[in-house]
Each structure stands twice: as C-alpha cells, then as structure tokens.
Chains A and B, each alone.
Chain A
Amino acid sequence: MNQTSTNDSDAFPVDPLVPLLERARQGDRDARNELFEHCRAYVSLIARAQVGSWLQAKVDHSDLVQQSLLEAHRALDQFRGTTDGEWLAWLKQIVHHNAADFVRRYGMAQRRKAGREVSLDAPRNNDSSGPTRDPSDPGQTPSQIVLRSEEQMEISRAVGQLPPDYQEVIILRNLERLPFDEIAERMGRSRPAVQMLWMRALKKLHESLEP
C-alpha cells in the first residue's frame, strides 16, 4: 500500500518563523520585537473579524490588537509549539479569548465581570495570566488544505494595506462569511455594487501579492 500525497506550493520553506521564535524565546529582545512586528498585520486582521462589525462601533479593534499582542508577549515563555502553524493558531487563540472578553464587556449584558476570564485552562505558571491552551491543538483538521503560515501573514499584510472599503468588504465576505445581501445592507450600498467592490478588492490584493 502506498500513500500518495499531492500538494502544491512546496516551494515555501516550511517554518520560516521558527528560528525567530527560538531566539525570541531565549530572550533575544530584537528577535522578540521582530517577531511581533511580523505578526502584527495578522493579529490585526483576525482581531477585526473576531470582534464583528456590530461591535466595531463601540470598540476600536486596535485595543484588541494591543491587548492581544501584549498578552502574547508576556506569555511567550508558555508557548510550547514547535511550528509556525502552531504559533499562528496560538496567536489566534489569544485574540479569540480577548475578543470574547471584549464582547462580554460591551455586550448585551452590560455587566462587568469581576476579574478577567481570559484563559480557558488554569495557568501553568502563577506568575503570568496569559493563555496556556495546549498549542498542539490548533483547532485544525487534517483534511484542511495545508496553508503555509508565511502566506497567511503575507495576505494579512496585503489586506491591511488596501483602501478601507476594500478591507471592509473582504472582512465581511471572507472572514465573517456574510452573504452579499447582508454586506450590502451593512455598507449601505446596492448588492451589485458590493459584489463589484469585492472583485476589485480581490484584484487589488492579487496585484499587491504578485506585483
């Protein structure tokens, strides 16, 4: 029995972030800053999708980004993963916890929870309140297409550099997975206009990714 595996994009190095990650973990300040600068666009984009547009009126998503990066910074020692994919999943997890926290704070209930309920699991170290979810559980299924982490960060950066309504339509359509009717309503435009906007945004994205 032979097992065949066919995957495109083998040209990418597998885990380009790992060396940086290693140095950052060993306390190299520059590496640490570089790492987080590298991942900022990624965190920023997923933060916007996590918060959801209904909340964006009340919350500046940059608060969430700030908060999440700060937390990731503090809890870096506790990251136990060994691959880029795990790293990105870990970051996503942190953003997710923080977003949930934001939603709770600004949500319907309007009541402020005492203390911050960030981590799902009990922290393994007492000196940090960072999230300590098992990084080997990135919530991915094996059947999913292999996506290189580098590509994910590149596309995040590219989206971040688009004009604002291009960004918005991509976030609504691709990250929040809303149907065009709803996007049209939210953006106050006609449905054909929003669809065209989306196509243009994708093309622009393509231009910036493959100049």
Chain B
Amino acid sequence: MTREPVSDPAPDEALSPDDAALFAMLEHYMSSLHQGDLLSRSVMIDGNPALAKWMRYLELLDRLAPDRTAVDAASSERVPAVTEMTPQPFGKYQLLEEIGRGGMGVVYRAHQTDLDRSVALKMILSSRLASPDDVRRFYAEARAAGSLRHPNIVGIHEAGEVHGQHFFAMDFIEGRSLAQELAGGPFDPGRAAECVAAVARAVQYLHEHHMIHRDLKPSNILLAPDGTPYVTDFGLAKTLGGNSVHTQSGLIVGTIGYMSPEQATGHAPAHSPLSDIYSLGAILFELLTGRPPFQNASPIDTLLEVIEGEPPRPRQLNRHIPIALELVCLRCLEKDPRRRYPSAAALVADLEHFLRGEPLDVTPAGVVHRVLRWARREPTLAMHLGAILVCALIVQIKYMISGYDLPYHLVVMFLFGAWAGVALMCQFLLRRSGEKNGPRYLWAFADAYLLTVMLYIADDPLGPLLIGYPLLIVASGLFFRVRLVTFMTVACLMAYGMLVLVGRDPVVKPQYTLLYTAALAVIGLVCGYQAYRVRVLSGYFEGRGTRSDGETAANAAPTIARREG
C-alpha cells in the first residue's frame, strides 16, 4: 500500500479536548464490542444519543472483520461487573445495581419506569448466547417460568431484548437466599420443616404444570424478610409434556451436592419429579444440620458419594433433631427413586403431620434396608467385616468337619476377631478425627500387618493365601489416592519380604519369589496409575464444577466490583 504523508498530523499535535473525549468513549466501546458485551452499548447510547452514529460505524466495521476466533471468544468471558452504579437506562427499566450472577447471566435490581415497581432483571451474558440453542434455552426458561403463579415462586413478567441484549424481568424479592441464611447456622427443626414444606408446595405446583426444577438448592431459594421462601432460577427446568430438545441427553445438570443420584449418573431418562424430591431432602438435611448431605473436598468424591454413598444420619450430626424429621429427610434421600415420597405433596403432608405433632405416613425402614444403608454409609468397614466373616466361616466349617487342634483354631478365630476389632476402631477414628489421612494409613498398615501375622501361623503350603497382598493393594485403590496405594504396596512388599526372611515362604525357586515380588510392585503401579488418572479427570471436573457450585443465583450477595470507565 502506498503511503502519502498528506494527512499525517504534525507529531506534537494533540487531539482537541472534544475529540479526546469522543476518542475515549469510542475506544471504550470498541473494547466492549470486542468482548461481545452488548449491554454497555445500550447503556452508552441511552446516556448520549449523539454517540449512536459513531458506534454504528464501529459496529459495521467490526462486522466486516474476519470472523472471531476462539481466542476472541474466550476473552469475551470478561463481562464488567456493575454494582453500585448510577442508574442506567435499559429500555423501560432503570438498572440500579448488580445483585448476582448465575451460569446463564447477570441479575440486576432495576426499576420499571412505566409501572413504577422494582424488578429483578436477568441478563443473559452475550458470550453465553454463542449459539441459537442458548437463545432458545433462554426463552424456554422464560416461557416455562412466565406461565407460573404461586405464592412461593418468583414470578416472571416479561422476556425480550433491548439493543440485542436478551433479558427477562421477574419479581424482585427483597431478602437473602437460603444459602446466605444458612451461613448463620442450621435452622431449628420447626422452622426447617415449615420452610421445606413451603418450597415443596411450590415444587408440587411446578410438577402439576409438568415442570421439573432440576436445580433446587439453597442458593436458588430466596427468603423474603417475613421468612416466606421463593423458588427461583428455572434455568434447567425441563418441560415434561412438550419437546425437550433443549436439554442434551445425558448432560449432567444441577449442582453436585444437591442433585439426585440418577441425575449424577447422567441418565437423562431417569430424571423425574422424584429427582426434585431428592433435592428437597438435601435442602432439609442442610437446614437441619448446617451442611449438605455429601461434602467433600473434590467434586469427584462428592459425585461418587451421591451415586453410591449414604448420607450420615442427621441425628448423628445434631442430636436435637426429632426422629420424625430424620425419617422424612432420609426418605427423600433414598437412592432408589421408588423408595422416596411419591410426590412433593406427600412430602408436604408428612411435614405438616410433623408440625402438628401427628404420626407420620412414613414408616421406619426394614432391617434389611437398614443394613444396606449402613453398608453404603460405611463401605470400608462393611467390606472388612464381610470379608472377615466369610473367611472365619470357612475356617469354622473346616474345623467342624475335621475337629482337629482346638488351641490353634482358637488362635485363628481370635485373630479374626482382633482384625474386626481393629477395623471398628479405625472406622471410629476415621469418623471422629477431622483429618482422614492418619486413620486411613493406620488402617492400611494394620491390614497388611494382620494379614502377615495370619500367614505366619497358617499351615503350609502358603501358596494360594498369598493372594491376600494383591487383594489389599487393589482394595486400597478404591480410595483413588495415589499415596495410599503406594503406602499399601510398600507395606505389602515389606511384609512379604519378612515372611521370606523368616522362612515362612521358603525359597524353593528364587525366580518364583522374585516374580511374585515384581508382580506385587506392578499391581501397585497399575492401581496407583488408575488412581492418578481419576484424579486428573477429577481436576478437570473441578475446573468445570466450580462454576456450577460457586454460582450465585438471583439476589445473591452483591459482588464488590466497580464498573470500569
């Protein structure tokens, strides 16, 4: 391109003050344009109509640019936070302040000028609107929620767009979310029951209108100053009757700590109103005890517990919880949806029974179910006791058949008993101490040690019994902790070395002994590697999980950030 110095200004020439101001505004707009932030456009235009044509030029020119790359799209995630701002006009609304951010968008407190009322405006982040699918989802959410009117549901007034910015307007609830309220500690049982009953009535109403909320959690429930709870954020609600193309099948939606096992496994067809019953139970659990049913440092552990674990009994965490409420709570949290309350209405009925001091409809679980529940709650202990019981039974039957050498038999049985005792003790320590690693290592060491003692006194030939070591290593892998697997492997290798040294496993063929040792090490390596892999996946999951976990829904605490420029 040829360059002519015709229009080159003198180097020391500066922009006139007017031009400098215009330049600053255009620059600001350029950057928000590059970030895909359309909100600031409408805000800027409404503030200064003369700017409109300049901004139009910038938009037109920007449109001519090569299509955005992934890099640009990534940078567009930065959306300016608007809190404590001066009122900004937005269509027929005045934006007053940002009150929260969710997965789909920012929520502002706003004033609706024509009807002179306060509303909450939920804006969809333009970066979230990358595809027509997102827009469809947004309007589906609005449509689904807009037709609903219930004293415990946040009503939706309108959905639309202003200058390309999609939004919807809903009731503004002055108050705090249940999550914020919970920061002050658990509720007393009566209040918890009343609160969950009100939410359950709203959920029943949703179900009657063929909607599943699917993301019920304390931060999605707002408490008005008089204590009335309001259900909000139907972002993931799925219309039962209509077409449900908006939800990709199998996609895990919901927040891990409160979602039902069938949601956690991602079997989309398994979603049903009963998933919401589970979430209601999780909320009741947290209101009673001050913590969600499953709580773990890493999302993958939480996920595993949601799928296969059993929540602790609420009364173990808080002695003052009435038995009746514990029953109601655990009934909601049943793994098998068919064992839960058949409807939110049934849950409401039982909560009302409790509040009036009447007997409940729900009956305590049967013995078998209670044992199963216990086994899920304490899987490690259950596995230990089960394995010890089976081994002891076999030895006992053998003794009853042969009836030979009672003292020896008693020693063996005593050792089995001791092993069970050690397991119980370790489980006790595990539950008592906040720090889980110590008891786990102790347990691992005790297992390796006791196995070695039993092998030491066992009859020859040891051969098949040596399978115990690989078994221990593999079992330690179930915790998905590389260090624990390493620890167990080293312990087993040392224990086996001792057996060889004291001549309990005589070296007949040295290569066999070496091969067995090597195999033990390799098994440890494989299990450790598997644990490592799961951790890597977990880390990935965590990166994505934090968003859904940490997201603040409507009316959450205003984040302290100021609008730039």
A residues near B (Cβ < 8 Å) are 1-9, 42, 45-46, 49-50, 56, 92, 96, 139, 141-147, 151-152, 155-156, 159, 163-168, 170, 173-177, 187, 189-190, 192-193, 195-197, 199-200, 202, 205-206, 209-210
Contacts and interface: CB of A to CB of B under 8 A. Distances in A.
B11 A147 contact: no
B1 A164 contact: yes
Contacts of A143: 36, 38, 124, 126, 129, 135, 164-166
B46 to A, nearest CB: 11
5 contacts: A7-B163, A144-B63, A163-B6, A164-B3, A200-B7
B557 interface: no
Nearest to A4: B160
A175 B61 contact: yes
Nearest to B59: A145
Contacts of B14: 192, 196
Interface string B134-159: 01000100110011000000001011
A21 B326 CA distance: 72
A152 B64 CA distance: 8
Interface of B: 1-4, 6-9, 11, 13-15, 19, 22-23, 26, 30, 34, 36, 38, 41, 52-54, 56-67, 91, 124, 126, 129-132, 135, 139, 142-143, 146-147, 156, 158-166
- Residue among B59, B162, B165 having the largest count of chain A Cβ atoms under 10 Å: B59
A147 B135 contact: no
Contacts of B159: 1, 3
- Residue among B142, B156, B164 having the largest count of chain A Cβ atoms under 10 Å: B164
A176 B67 CA distance: 10
Nearest to A162: B7
Given A1-B156, A142-B135, A165 B13 contact: no
Given A177-B34, A195-B15, A164 B2 contact: yes
Given A1-B147, A4-B91, A141 B131 contact: yes
Contact of A202 (B3, B26, B63, B126): B26
Given A4-B161, A155-B61, 9 more contacts: A1-B158, A4-B91, A6-B160, A143-B165, A145-B41, A151-B56, A175-B62, A199-B15, A206-B54
A155 to B, nearest CB: 5
Nearest to A52: B66
Contacts of B52: 8
Contacts, number: 153
Contact of B61 (A6, A144, A170, A196): A170
A contact face: mostly helix, strand, loop, or mixed: helix
Contact of B67 (A139, A142, A147): A139
B57 A196 contact: no
A173 B66 CA distance: 13
Contact of B23 (A156, A176, A195): A195
Contacts of B139: 3
Nearest to B165: A143
- Residue among A1, A49, A146 having the largest count of chain B Cβ atoms under 10 Å: A1
B135 A165 contact: no
Contacts of A210: 53
A174 B13 contact: no
Contacts of B6: 163, 165
Nearest to B168: A1
Nearest to A166: B7
Contacts of A195: 15, 23
A8 B158 CA distance: 21
Contacts of B22: 199
A165 B63 contact: no
B65 A145 contact: no
Contact of A141 (B57, B130, B147, B162): B130
A96 B143 CA distance: 39
A118 to B, nearest CB: 17
Nearest to A205: B57
A45 B61 CA distance: 10
A92 B160 CA distance: 30
The list of the 3 closest CB pairs from A to B, nearest first, reads A4-B160, A174-B61, A143-B129
A176 B397 CA distance: 83
B178 to A, nearest CB: 27
Nearest to A159: B61
A173 B26 CA distance: 12
Nearest to B6: A163
A102 to B, nearest CB: 13
Given A3-B159, A56-B1, A141 B129 contact: yes
B60 to A, nearest CB: 5
Contacts of A139: 67
Contacts of A193: 8-9, 11, 13
Contacts of A192: 11, 13-15
Contacts of B11: 189-190, 192-193
